Amino acid sequence: MQASHAVSVLLDDDLLAFNRAIGVVRRRNLPVQGITVGPSGQAGVLRLAFFMQADDANAMRLLRQLEKAHGVHSVTVTPVSSPSLTHPSEAVL
Amino acid sequence: MSEVLTGAQILCRELVAAGVDVIFGYPGGAIMPFYHALPEYPGLRHVLVRHEQAAAHAADGYARASGRVGVCVATSGPGATNLVTGLATAHMDSSPVLAITGQVGRPMIGRDAFQETDVIGLTLPITKYNHLVQDISELAAIVREAVAIARDGRPGPVLIDVPKDVQNQKAAYTPPEGKAAAPAPVPPLAQGVDEAARLIAEAERPLLMIGHGVILSGAYAEVRALAEKTGIPVITTLLGISAFPESHPLHLGMPGMHGEVHVNRAIQHADLIVGIGLRFDDRVTGNLAAFAPRAKIVHVELDRAEVGKNVPVAVGIVGDARQITQRLVEAVRPRTCEAWVAEIRGFVRPRAEAFSGDLSPEAILASIYEATGGSCTIVTDVGQHQMWVAKHYPYQRPNTHITSGGLGTMGFAVPAAMGVHLARPGELVWAISGDGGFQMNMAEIATMVQEGLSVKMAIFNNGYLGMVRQWQQFFHEKRYSCTPIWSPDYVKLAEAYGIAGWRVENRGQLDDVVRRANATPGPALVEFVIAQEANVYPMIPPGGSLSEPIEAQPAATPAR
Ligand SMILES: Cc1ncc(C[n+]2csc(CCOP(=O)(O)OP(=O)(O)O)c2C)c(N)n1
């Protein structure tokens, strides 16, 4: 997979919110890699991060749908030239 | 002042506080404490359906007709799974439905207990919000939150899963203060109104395309004012039908797969499309690459995720359709589009009579319209009859056309019409189905009888799963594989349920029977025997461009 975008999602530290966000990603059926989940540094807020392969329009669609999911606080989608550069979990939000 | 109540009682109290007056449901083990409490709350009328799918559709119909949250209740396991189709239907069509399901007791969860299903997992992608209540202490707040989420913003279904032991738990309860929670703040009016007004002033061939969002926000007067101030002709999507009077000189009709030729041609020639409260669904656009090739698109939509999702937009305006359309009305300069309207008139084809027999769908619909003085609500099922109604019924009153658009759920009409009846008790409601879809949920006649729900049911009986047969005719070498469908004697069926029933086989019987059905108190059923190979014309082949319709051939000879 040639990653094109790094996605970072801040969401409620709660299984349902996590499930909802992952469900949105899964439903779009885009190739995804390097999924990590971890603390965000903010109490009660989790960071979900991954790389994906998508054109800019699809990346924007995913961003908007993720923003809608109940329990999601914010989403950033950054184009990447090489997946090895920065893992999105380390990206600054 | 607080008092000690069970979880089930709190649930009922919160429903009353939220303004709920009708619940569609079906009891079972895991929801029994709720049903035990229910008789203490006479303000909550319970309608016992014959299948939980019908409860969800009825709640959906109630919500669409009333603009309020519709409520359905089911037990765990099979009761909850039976709701799924109805919730998916409501989700696709942005309908505010609250589903309450019983769940096995907390100590049993995750142990494959009797009638345990992960209903939260099942409904995650088809609800706006769902939640398994962990403790009675959070129950009231969750009900309030769920109702608010269902109703506010772009509406949609929500589900609360309540373990049986939480329903039996006791806790101090303080009723919410005042009325139901305030609606969420209206999103700020976005940029773009002036830019849209400029595009409207410059356009030579502008169109207004209006969808369900206009009905959900009640933007009827604003849309009409915009059309009349600018002279821009109006297209109504399937779920936008009845948002603009069909008799209005600027009304063009429905676009898309079964849209009229002149409507789709207008789209292909337009240089500006102002879309309000719609999502440019693929049944509307056909092949996206070929959709409206000359048009700039202005998209007014409450849900930001819809703007630019399917079609690229020149101007996206995120916000409430009514408020933004009002702003547009103020911002546009008066103009006319006479040359353009005349050009579109030149695209109009004489209506292709899809029928060879004398009992045409057009005649049936005209008869219903005449007999009701245009004052009834029509709920349609899915298939050919749905398209005939969408194309031929002359809707004049707002929000009187209710159908399953996004999911295209057969079996929707009959139960949804029960909900519509309860939302509009003094008005006539016709549920129009095919012989296929009617047989999916016809058990609900019993619900109507038991609950005294007055729904008039029309069955367009062509002996086929008609729309699928039509596709087989066009695209599968006329191999009518598994689409002929047998029906019972519907008049005898009506008799068995103790309701009035008629069979109409020719035009001569039509008006009299429709009038009698309307005049008969309570539910009534009319079977219309129509030609087997009648088709819906024109048709854009799936994935085809709006410029390439299949048009009517000489009417097929009925096989019977
Ligand atoms: C629940 C469900 N199953 C299958 C379909 C696929 N489908 C779409 S239209 C149609 C035929 C409908 O036949 P009928 O109810 O007789 O109506 P007609 O098209 O003849 O008016 C079918 C099977 C569907 N939309 N919904």
Q: Where are the domains of chain A?
A: 3-80
Residue B175 pLDDT exceeds 90:
no
- Residue B357's pLDDT is what? 72
- Residue B349's pLDDT is what? 84
- Residue B552's pLDDT is what? 81
b/e per residue B297-310 (b: at least 16 CB within 10 A): bbbbbbbbbbbbbb
Please state the rounded mean pLDDT for residues A43-63: 95
Half-sphere exposure of B61 (CA within 13 A, CB side): 37
Q: Which atom of ligand 1 is nearest to the CA of B470?
A: 19
Distance from CA of B304 to the nearest CA of A (A): 7
Residues B72/B44, Cβ–Cβ less than 8 Å: no
Distance from CA of B306 to the nearest CA of A (A): 8
- pTM comes to 0.94
Residue A82 pLDDT exceeds 70:
no
Q: Side chain identity at B204, as an amino acid letter?
A: E
Residue A5 pLDDT exceeds 70:
yes
Q: Where are the domains of chain B?
A: 3-171, 190-345, 361-529
Q: In chain B, what percentage of residues exceed pLDDT 70?
A: 95
pLDDT in tens, B84-98: 999 999 999 999 999
pLDDT in tens, B263-321: 999 999 999 999 999 999 999 999 999 999 999 999 999 999 999 999 999 999 999 99
pLDDT in tens, B46-72: 999 999 999 999 999 999 999 999 999
- Residue B177's pLDDT is what? 76
Task: Report which secondary-structure segment, H or E, holds A45.
Answer: strand A45-52
Q: How confident is the model at residue B560 (pLDDT cuts 50, 70, 90)?
A: very low
pLDDT in tens, B145-167: 999 999 999 999 999 999 999 99
Residue B491 pLDDT exceeds 50:
yes
- The torsion region of residue B504 among left (phi > 0), alpha (psi -120 to 50) and beta comes to beta
**Pairwise CB contact (< 8 Å): A70 & B129:** yes
Phi and psi at residue B402, to the nearest 5°: -125, 125
Q: How confident is the model at residue B396 (pLDDT cuts 50, 70, 90)?
A: very high
Residue B554 pLDDT exceeds 60:
no
Please choose, from the candidates B193, B206, B201, B230, the residue with its C-alpha nearest in 3D space to the C-alpha of residue B292.
B206
What are the residues whose beta carbons fall under 8 Å from the beta carbon of B459, sequence distance 6 or more? B433, B434, B435, B438, B487, B490, B525, B526, B527, B528
CA distance linking residue B328 with residue B346, whole number of Å: 29
Q: How many A-B residue pairs are in contact by the CB < 8 A criterion?
A: 28
**Pairwise CB contact (< 8 Å): B305 & A70:** no
Q: How confident is the model at residue B179 (pLDDT cuts 50, 70, 90)?
A: low
Please state the rounded mean pLDDT for residues B107-135: 95
Please choose, from the candidates B407, B327, B391, the residue with its C-alpha nearest in 3D space to the C-alpha of residue B537.
B391
Task: Report which secondary-structure segment, H or E, holds B220.
Answer: helix B220-230
Handedness of CA B260, B263, B264, B265 (dihedral sign): positive
Half-sphere exposure of B436 (CA within 13 A, CB side): 20
> Average model confidence (pLDDT) for chain B?
94
SS (H, E, C) B393-455: CCCCCCCCEEECCCCCCCCCHHHHHHHHHHHCCCCCEEEEEEHHHHHHHCCHHHHHHHHCCCC
Place of tokens 């089911």: B74
Which is it for strands B45-48 and B22-25: parallel, antiparallel or unpaired?
parallel
Calculate how far, in angstroms, residue B250's C-alpha sits from the geometric centre of ligand 1.
32
Residues B232/B207, Cβ–Cβ less than 8 Å: yes
Q: What is the DSSP letter of B30?
A: G
pLDDT in tens, B243-257: 999 999 999 999 999
CA distance linking residue B189 with residue B223, whole number of Å: 17
Cα dist from B318 to B153, B179, B230, B330, B559, whole Å: 11, 29, 22, 18, 52
Q: What is the DSSP letter of B550?
A: B
CA distance linking residue B102 with residue B83, whole number of Å: 12
Distance from CA of A50 to the nearest CA of B (A): 20
- Residue A88's pLDDT is what? 63
Q: Side chain identity at B28, as an amino acid letter?
A: G
Residues from chain B contacting residue A16 (CB–CB below 8 Å): 120, 124, 130-131
- Residue B352's pLDDT is what? 64
Residue A85 pLDDT exceeds 60:
no
CA distance linking residue B316 with residue B190, whole number of Å: 9
Please state the rounded mean pLDDT for residues B24-31: 98
b/e per residue B99-130 (b: at least 16 CB within 10 A): bbbbbbbbebbeeebebbbebbebbbebbbbb
**CATH architecture label of B3-171:** 3-Layer(aba) Sandwich (3.40)
Calculate how far, in angstroms, residue B200's C-alpha sits from the geometric centre of ligand 1.
40
CA distance linking residue B32 with residue B104, whole number of Å: 11
Residue B559 pLDDT exceeds 90:
no
Q: How confident is the model at residue A2 (pLDDT cuts 50, 70, 90)?
A: confident
* Through-space distance between the first and last CA atoms of chain A, rounded to whole angstroms: 25
Calculate how far, in angstroms, residue B263's C-alpha sits from the geometric centre of ligand 1.
25
Residues A2/A85, Cβ–Cβ less than 8 Å: no
Please choose, from the candidates B440, B490, B497, B422, the residue with its C-alpha nearest in 3D space to the C-alpha of residue B461.
B490
Q: What is the DSSP letter of B310?
A: S
Residues from chain B contacting residue A60 (CB–CB below 8 Å): 308
Topology at the third CATH level for domain B190-345:
Rossmann fold (3.40.50)
CA distance linking residue B303 with residue A23, whole number of Å: 19
Please tell me the least confidently modeled range out of B11-15, B336-340, B402-406, B553-557. Answer: B553-557
What are the residues whose beta carbons fall under 8 Å from the beta carbon of A82, sequence distance 6 or more? none
**CATH architecture label of A3-80:** 2-Layer Sandwich (3.30)
- The CATH code of domain B361-529 reads 3.40.50.970
Omega within 30 of 0 (cis) for the link into B538: yes
pLDDT in tens, B347-357: 998 776 656 67
The per-residue DSSP string of B444-487 comes to: HHHHHHHHT---EEEEEE-SB-HHHHHHHHHHSTT--TT-B---
**Pairwise CB contact (< 8 Å): A16 & B308:** no
**Pairwise CB contact (< 8 Å): A16 & B149:** no
Q: What is the DSSP letter of B514?
A: H
Are B3-171 and B361-529 the same fold in CATH? yes
Protein residue whose Cα sits closest to atom 8 of ligand 1: B383
Q: Hey, how many other C-beta atoms are within 10 angstroms of the C-beta on B399?
A: 22
Please state the rounded mean pLDDT for residues B123-150: 97
Query: Token pair of B377, please?
Result: 């609500």
Q: How confident is the model at residue A93 (pLDDT cuts 50, 70, 90)?
A: very low
Interface confidence, given as ipTM, is 0.83
CA distance linking residue B424 with residue B454, whole number of Å: 11
- Residue B354's pLDDT is what? 59
Q: How confident is the model at residue A86 (pLDDT cuts 50, 70, 90)?
A: low
Strand partners, B298: B274, B315
Residues from chain A contacting residue B121 (CB–CB below 8 Å): 19
Please state the rounded mean pLDDT for residues B436-457: 98
Catalytic annotation, residues of B: 52, 114-115, 164, 467
For residue B437 and ligand 1, the question of a CB distance below 6 A is answered with: yes
**Pairwise CB contact (< 8 Å): B128 & A70:** yes
Which is it for strands A45-52 and A5-12: parallel, antiparallel or unpaired?
antiparallel
Phi and psi at residue B315, to the nearest 5°: -135, 125
Q: How confident is the model at residue B533 (pLDDT cuts 50, 70, 90)?
A: confident
Residue B205 pLDDT exceeds 80:
yes
Q: Hey, how many other C-beta atoms are within 10 angstroms of the C-beta on B396?
A: 16
